[in-house]
Amino acid sequence: MQRCFTLTIVRHWALRKKLLTISYQQSAAMSTLLINQPKYAWLKELGLSEDNDGVYNGNWGGKGEVITSYCPANNEPIARVRQATMAEYEETVQKSRDAWKVWADIPAPKRGEIVRQIGDALRKKIKVLGSLVSLEMGKIYVEGVGEVQEYVDVCDYAVGLSRMIGGPVLPSERPGHALIEMWNPVGLVGIITAFNFPVAVYGWNNAIALICGNVCLWKGAPTTPLTSVAVTKIVAEVLEQNNLPGAICSMTCGGADIGTAMSKDERVDLVSFTGSTHVGKMVAMMVQERFGRNLLELGGNNAIIVFEDADLNLVVPSAVFASVGTAGQRCTTTRRLMLHGSIHDIVVERVAKAYKQVRIGDPWDPSTMYGPLHTKQAVDQYLAAIEQAKQQGGTVVCGGKVMDRPGNYVEPTIITGLAHDAPIVHTETFVPILYVLKFQTEEEAFAWNNEVKQGLSSSIFTKDMGRVFRWLGPKGSDCGIVNVNIPTSGAEIGGAFGGEKHTGGGRESGSDSWKQYMRRSTCTINYSKDLPLAQGIKFE
């Protein structure tokens, strides 16, 4: 009896010690999270906590893998998110389909009113949400706020669009007949976004898709889950205040398994994917296999071409902003700077001097112009690309090193001396490396611009109006964005955004991009008492 009692006591204390150890470890882990530090208390204004649900479909949940989000500026953990299981994905898709039945019956201008409220809710949180983008993605504070502003701007644009979308009434060749083009929502739009614009790209798709009568299912990047959660909380509150199903704007945090499921799922009528060309190609094949629709916004190997008559006071700041902004992690980042031989040396000298004046620091510091790369893997890619460039004949004239400080900081880099068709020049590397190429003729420069696989953004600097219109014409740039005397990055929301070739061909945001989210029907209505056939056919 005494032995049993003693064993019981020993086991009790062993168990208590184990539980205390686990509790201590959990407390220690929690104390190291940035969200628990007074400096980052503002994160809780967005409804975030140490552990966050990564599924929303009218209700919050998440029973899958727990992932930790890290700050690229110091590689310290911010907070945790529990991702979706496949069962939760299935439930969310079904709830989204049910929510569509409600949303599609609401008139488009009324849907626009809901989108207006979403924009207003984002305005109220613009600084704190922009700070989260800066903390979690790594871009500087003004860019983080600017990204939220893009979502707000698209909401404003979509409100007006909600009273304008529709097709024409066409003249019929038959008496007593009307020919009408009708546009209806596709249904459920799956939106897969990348780390580099964790708010704006969702906003482009979400606001336009909503006014068109669609519901949205969002899978954000696995490395920016807190931003996905925070944005969804803002949108969900608007839907709740209007007594609308939350699954109109649902979210499933997850990895490739969720993205694959969305791509293969026939219930997802349109898959909008933003990311690498490699993954985009796989998404396109999975969607096409089921004859679904896809909207692809993939990579870009973008060029600025500077002719001998260019205004260098425009060229230098444009080249610096477009190559260094977001630490070279925009899809529209300038990766190739093509300079006419007569001005090559002076432009390289001036751009290199400007690079050295770029203020590097914590991304949330308002004075910082250049922050970290998003991940440690990106730092490795940066070093590998520089080594390849050297092996292929390039010379590093500025930068080229990893910075000796916490976080994923590298020096913005300029490399000269490479051939225009060097393998590394034709490879899109998502890091701040600018390859400078020397050309002699307009024909040569235009050809070099177009010889890469991607076709997203491009720009020339010149005062020659004949050259400008040749650049804009059929033998000029083959890109979706064709600029003159401005950088390759920094597009406005009013124009259609997207590119050609390996960039995917999709268009988002402005112009007639709304058509990507709708299906078109040609309707012929006979309001006469006769039955004339088209093309004058007699069938009597």
Residues 369 and 257 in one domain: no
C-beta of residue 300 within 8 angstroms of C-beta of residue 196: no
Token pair, residue 251, equals 């979210």
Determine, yes or no, domain membership for 37.
no
Token pair, residue 346, equals 């002076």
CATH code where residue 354 lies: 3.40.309.10
Alpha-helical regions (H) of 104-140: 108-124, 126-137
Given a cut of 60, whether residue 134 has pLDDT beyond it is yes
Residues 270 and 314 in one domain: no
pLDDT digits (tens, 9 = 90+) for 254-273: 999 999 999 999 999 999 99
In whole numbers, what is the pLDDT of the chain averaged over residues?
A: 95
C-beta of residue 229 within 8 angstroms of C-beta of residue 48: yes
Q: How far apart are CA 187 and CA 104, in angstroms?
A: 8
Domains in the chain, number = 2
In this structure, how many other beta carbons lie within 10 angstroms of the beta carbon of residue 324?
23
Given a cut of 80, whether residue 13 has pLDDT beyond it is no
Average pLDDT on 39-67 reads 98
Residues 265 and 235 in one domain: yes
Residues 266 and 313 in one domain: no
pLDDT digits (tens, 9 = 90+) for 68-90: 999 999 999 999 999 999 999 99
Q: Are strands 55-56 and 60-61 parallel, antiparallel or unpaired?
A: antiparallel
Given a cut of 60, whether residue 192 has pLDDT beyond it is yes
pLDDT digits (tens, 9 = 90+) for 16-49: 444 433 333 343 344 599 999 999 999 999 999 9
Residues 252 and 308 in one domain: no
Q: Are strands 169-170 and 177-185 parallel, antiparallel or unpaired?
A: antiparallel
Token pair, residue 503, equals 């960039």
Residues 224 and 306 in one domain: no
Q: How far apart are CA 357 and CA 368, in angstroms?
A: 11
Residues 502/504/509/512 CA torsion (nearest 10 deg): 120
Given a cut of 70, whether residue 484 has pLDDT beyond it is yes
pLDDT of residue 9: 37
Determine, yes or no, domain membership for 530.
no
Residues 189 and 237 in one domain: yes
pLDDT of residue 31: 52
Domain with 340 in it: 302-492
pLDDT of residue 539: 84
Residues 343 and 451 in one domain: yes
pLDDT digits (tens, 9 = 90+) for 397-442: 999 999 999 999 999 999 999 999 999 999 999 999 999 999 999 9
Determine, yes or no, domain membership for 49.
yes
CATH code where residue 94 lies: 3.40.605.10
What SS3 class is residue 189? strand
Q: How far apart are CA 121 and CA 126, in angstroms?
A: 9
pLDDT of residue 112: 99
Given a cut of 90, whether residue 214 has pLDDT beyond it is yes
Average pLDDT on 114-124 reads 99
Residues 229 and 311 in one domain: no
Average pLDDT on 459-482 reads 99
Average pLDDT on 272-283 reads 98
C-beta of residue 370 within 8 angstroms of C-beta of residue 323: no
Question: What amino acid positions are annotated as catalytic residues?
Answer: 297
pLDDT of residue 536: 87
In this structure, how many other beta carbons lie within 10 angstroms of the beta carbon of residue 540?
2
Share of the chain above pLDDT 70, in %: 94
Determine, yes or no, domain membership for 140.
yes
Determine, yes or no, domain membership for 29.
no
CA 468 to chain centre: 30
**Helix (H) or strand (E) run with residue 395 in it:** strand 395-398
Q: Which amino acid makes up residue 464?
A: D
Determine, yes or no, domain membership for 348.
yes
Q: How far apart are CA 418 and CA 437, in angstroms?
A: 7
CA separation (Å) from 363 to 46, 322, 432?
19, 17, 16
Residues 222 and 369 in one domain: no
Residues 144 and 288 in one domain: yes
Determine, yes or no, domain membership for 230.
yes
Determine, yes or no, domain membership for 526.
no
pLDDT of residue 538: 86
C-beta of residue 300 within 8 angstroms of C-beta of residue 459: no
Q: Which amino acid makes up residue 193?
A: T
Order of strands across the sheet that contains 270-274: 60-61, 55-56, 249-252, 215-219, 188-192, 270-274, 293-297
Contacts of 432 (CB under 8 A, 6+ apart): 323, 324, 327, 328, 333, 370, 382, 399, 410, 412, 413
Residues 142 and 288 in one domain: yes
Given a cut of 50, whether residue 280 has pLDDT beyond it is yes
Name the band, by pLDDT with cuts 50, 70 and 90, for residue 540: confident
Given a cut of 90, whether residue 14 has pLDDT beyond it is no
pLDDT digits (tens, 9 = 90+) for 193-203: 999 999 999 99
